[in-house]
Amino acid sequence: MYGRGRSIGAVMKETGHPQERINTGVAHSARVYDYILGGKNHYEADVAAGDAMVQVWPALPVHMRANRAFMHRVSRHLARERGIRQFLDIGTGLPTPPNLHEVVQEVEPRARVVYVDNDPIVLNYAQALLDSTPQGMTAYVQADMRDPDAILESARFREVLSLDEPIALTIIGILHFIHPGDDDHGLVERLLAPLPPGSYLAATIGTADFAPEEVGRVAERYAAEGMPMVLRTHAEAASFFDGLELEEPGVVQVHKWRPDPDDEKIRDVDIAMYGAVARKPF
């Protein structure tokens, strides 16, 4: 389950991944996210889409930064306060330091992380996600959240993560692209099902509760780019954590989940994402 001391980088070189053709003429959510946050791994279609979205909602960069800051705080909390040493990160996106493994391995160098994404460009840059500490381990799985079996039955998952110990399942900034027609709750439940009691779910869920007109226009722009979104109410967001034990302060806007004193000061109206952390009961 844990491998035999080989680095995952070496494993990737031995087995490889099938390279998929990247359609540079069509915007992709991971690359739009990268562009708006000031990254360099995007194309003209992503720039055009990102500019159009920021034009209709200028707070979008603030919102995206807050979402990423939530991921940093949550992963650090789970590693430091809850002793979690294994992480399964769905919808990883393009590498942007500090990545999740860098955050948790700063707390615990032995931490192990499996990253999952379905965008071919993320695969091209996945080596940046594999810069693990010598004591820990990271791996990358090219798969879609809509196919949990492809994730849970992958060689990377089985080699890096042990089902004998708790695992943190992190689904950050992706559920608004998973529709009820995709069996959204069922997908989360299937990913959680094999994880042992004491595991955690950390997720963010898009909402239009605080700026319905502006966020609605952003959703229209995403839909126009072939990326339809579903924006959920607080009750709908909270339902993803049914049957789990919520950590305080529960399901809140991401900037309100245990903020650090030096975090960016943010208006509620500028955030369109709920976030929460919950434990799978014993």
DSSP string, the chain: ---SS--HHHHHHHH--PPPPP-TTS--HHHHHHHHTT-S---HHHHHHHHHHHHH-TTHHHHHHHHHHHHHHHHHHHHHTS---EEEEES--S--SSPHHHHHHHH-TT-EEEEEE--HHHHHTGGGGG---SSSEEEEEE--TT-HHHHHTSHHHHHH--TTS--EEEE-S-GGGS-GGGTHHHHHHHHHTTSPTT-EEEEEEE--SS-HHHHHHHHHHHHHTT-------HHHHHGGGTTSEEPTT-SEEGGGSS--TTSPP--GGG--EEEEEEEPP-
Q: CA 37, CA 24: separation in Å to the nearest integer?
A: 19
Domain 59-210+231-279 has CATH 3.40.50.150: yes
| Residue-range domain boundaries for the chain | 59-210+231-279
Q: What is the pLDDT of residue 38?
A: 85
Q: pLDDT 10s digit of each residue in the chain, 282 long?
A: 222 222 333 333 223 344 556 788 888 888 888 898 888 888 999 999 999 999 999 999 999 999 999 999 999 999 999 999 999 999 998 888 899 999 999 999 999 999 999 888 888 888 888 899 999 999 999 999 999 999 999 999 999 999 999 999 999 999 999 999 999 999 999 999 999 999 999 999 999 999 999 999 999 988 988 989 999 999 999 999 999 999 999 999 999 999 998 887 899 999 999 999 999 999
**pLDDT recorded at residue 12:** 36
Q: How does strand 86-90 pair with strand 168-171?
A: parallel
For 216, other C-beta atoms within 10 Å of its C-beta total 15
Q: What is the mean pLDDT of the chain?
A: 90
Question: What is the per-residue pLDDT for 5?
Answer: 28
* pLDDT tens per residue, range 89-131: 999 988 888 999 999 999 999 999 999 998 888 888 888 888 9
pLDDT at 13: 27
